[in-house]
A and B are shown apart, each in its own frame.
Chain A
Amino acid sequence: MEVNRLLESGKSLVDRLSLSIIQPEEERLDVEISAFNLKEAVKSIVTANWGYLITITGLDIPPKVEMDNQAGSPGELEALYHFANENAIITLRVKIPYSNPQIESICDLIPSASLYERELMELFGFDFVNTPNREKLVLPDTWPDEVYPLRKSFTGLADQEKNKEEKK
């Protein structure tokens, strides 16, 4: 099958850098990768001219609190870099903690990624190191700092203000 051949060639590019690889659908490969290795993996995909970056999806994994108030897992963010080559899709998945949400920017390899990185920075609170443009892309200029609307904990600006008051 054509799609298998494409996925195999893509897999060989990132295999050595990956933490785990699964195949959720016939034409998809999900490659878990550390934030440290991400740029290297993107570089090998771009150098081999394997497809193009469709977009970067952000996911919020809120912190889990155990029943007896014991600390569960801390909050995490996940960035999904989707690359498509014909009908094959390889997704590089990078998980980072809220406390240290840094990923190296890939804009010097793929200039158009700037738009996606800006989107993730303002909507999720990712921090892309060396990204060329940190200006707001979709949120209004008056939007408060460090309020990230696509995190699960965000339920509206009014609630946000109320929480702030209570904390004071």
Chain B
Amino acid sequence: MTDSPREKFIVPIGPQHPALKEPGNFEFTVDGEIVTDAAVRLGFVHRGIEKACETRNYTQDLYLLERVCGICSHIHATAFVLGVEKLAGVQAPPRAEAIRVLAAELERIHSHFLWLGVAAHEAGFDTLFMYTWRDREVVMDLLESLSGSRVHYSVNVLGGVKIDLSQKISDQIKKEMDFLEERTHYYMKVVTTDDTFIGRTRGIGKLSKERAELLGGVGPTVRASGVKRDVRVIAPYSGYKDFSIQVITDDEGDLEARFVVRIKELLEAYRFIRVVLDQLPPGELTTRIKRKIPEGEVISRVEAPRGELFYFIQSNGTEMPARVKVRTPSLCNWGTITDVAVGHKLADMPMLLVGIDPCFSCNDRMVEIKSQSTPSHIMSWESLRKYGIEYYK
């Protein structure tokens, strides 16, 4: 080797991608194989929803906000209705609150299964990807038979819910939960014992408890670092006041722990759903709520599949909110990525990125390797993924 100045490469990842849901762009600066810096650029799907909310009434906003995300749609609507109900001084009936959290846990199951599949795919473990997505269909079908829709179930209305549970569907859900529980135990075995898989996850992307807390990360990403941060438990809302749920944490803080925590959350969700179905309170589904919401400000926090979702709603006493602020869990977790990535190999990046279960996705079709001295070198996301898989063969 000569003493020529060390070349610094910047690897942009994003914004387009085929694997996940939404686009985002990362630039990793690499020194050889090791990442030395990471930056994030979002906004490729910025739709101005917060602004749009200010010119629509509360009912219209409910449907608009449900479309913030195509995976955790229900939880957005839940955060919004809980906030608006608090402002209006209205309490939804107990049966409605129980159905809200039931739908939220079903949503968590489908979200975690989806993530497990995507993560397996990035690791080059496509069999696991196919299996998990097949099993995910079970939940999707349940949601469809509950609400008539696979993705945007529109369970919530202001003041309650608009779906009810019959004995027949309740029995069906229980039966499917038994099936999924058996499958989930199997997946737990796979991700904790399969050598190839452990090679990609164990000891990689370590995030200490202190860093996780300082960076303000949320959800399973920081629970895998031993941070007990789960809004369902620390600030119970809606049906979680009546039905308690356990916080799942792990002290390892690596990628494997993030798998373990999410899979254990699946098991906890099955238990929770069975309890809710057994003790579903009878009664009304909705209460009346006025179209004009009294003046005031409210903060609404809920636990989405990816972590704490935060809504700030300001009302000026009219039919339309003065301000709606949404802070999604993925935004906080990006902060942990830019921190964790430094010091890791480029080959680990695909797994680290999916490790936080990004909702704006970071995967992409085109990966451009920038160099200060040589012309840009472009490779596809697919080849970066393959590069990662080959690297660990």
Give the interface of A toward B (CB within 8 A): 24-25, 27-28, 52-55, 57-59, 80, 82, 84, 86-87, 89, 91, 110-112, 114-115, 133, 135-140, 149-150, 152, 154
Q: Does B1 contact A (CB under 8 A)?
A: no
Contact B235 A82 (CB under 8 A): no
B227-257 with Cβ < 8 A to chain A:
234-235
Main secondary structure on B side of the interface with A = mixed
Interface-lining segment among B122-130, B294-302, B378-386? B294-302
User: In the assembled complex, how far is the CB of residue A143 from the closest CB belonging to chain B, in whole angstroms?
Assistant: 10
CB within 8 A of A84: which of B217, B297, B301, B314? B301
Inter-chain contact B235/A115, CB cutoff 8 Å: no
Complex interface: chain B residues within 8 A of A58 (CB): 325
Which residue of chain B has its CB nearest to the CB of A91?
Answer: B299
Mask, B174-215, CB within 8 Å of A = 1, is: 000000000000000000000000000000000000000111
Q: Which of B301-336 contact A (CB under 8 A)?
A: 301, 308, 310, 312, 314, 323, 325, 327, 331-332, 334-336
Q: Let me know if A86 and B51 touch, CB within 8 A.
A: no
Report how far A82 CA is from B301 CA in the complex, Å: 12
Which of A59, A86, A140 touches B234 (beta carbons < 8 Å)?
Answer: A86
Contacts of B135 in A (CB 8 A): none
Given known pairs A54-B308, A54-B310, the reply for A112 and B216 (CB within 8 Å) is yes
List B residues 36-90 near A (Cβ within 8 Å): 39-43, 46, 48, 50-51, 54, 86
Report if A110-B214 is in contact (Cβ < 8 Å); known contacts: A54-B310, A87-B234: yes
Complex-state Cα separation, A137 to B39, whole angstroms = 11
What are 7 A-B pairs at a CB distance below 8 A?
A54-B216, A55-B325, A59-B323, A112-B332, A112-B335, A115-B335, A138-B42
Q: Is B368 in the interface zone, CB < 8 Å from A? A: no
Q: Which of B51, B296, B308 has a CB less than 8 Å from the CB of A150?
A: B51
- Chain A residues contacting B268 (CB-CB under 8 Å) are none
- Chain A, Cβ-Cβ closest to B323: A59
Contact, CB under 8 Å: B312 / A80: yes
> When chains A and B are docked, how far (Å) is the Cα of A91 from the Cα of B301?
14
With A86-B235, A139-B43 as known contacts, state yes or no: A55 contacts B335, CB within 8 Å. no
Using Cβ atoms and an 8 Å threshold, which residues of chain A touch B308?
54
Q: How far is the CA of A80 from the CA of B214 in the complex (A)?
A: 19
Q: Roughly how many angstroms separate A87 CA and B301 CA in the complex, as a whole number?
A: 9
Give A1 Cβ to nearest chain B Cβ, in Å.
13
By the criterion CB–CB under 8 Å, are A111 and B214 in contact? yes
When the two chains form their complex, are residues A24 and B332 in contact, meaning their CB atoms are under 8 A apart? no
Check B31 for interface membership: any CB of A closer than 8 A.
no
Question: What per-residue 1/0 map shows which CB atoms of B9-51 lie under 8 Å from chain A?
Answer: 0000000000000000000000000000001111100101011
Kindly report which residue of chain B lies nearest to residue A151, judged by CB atoms. Answer: B51
Known: A59-B323, A150-B50. A137 touches B43 (CB 8 A): yes
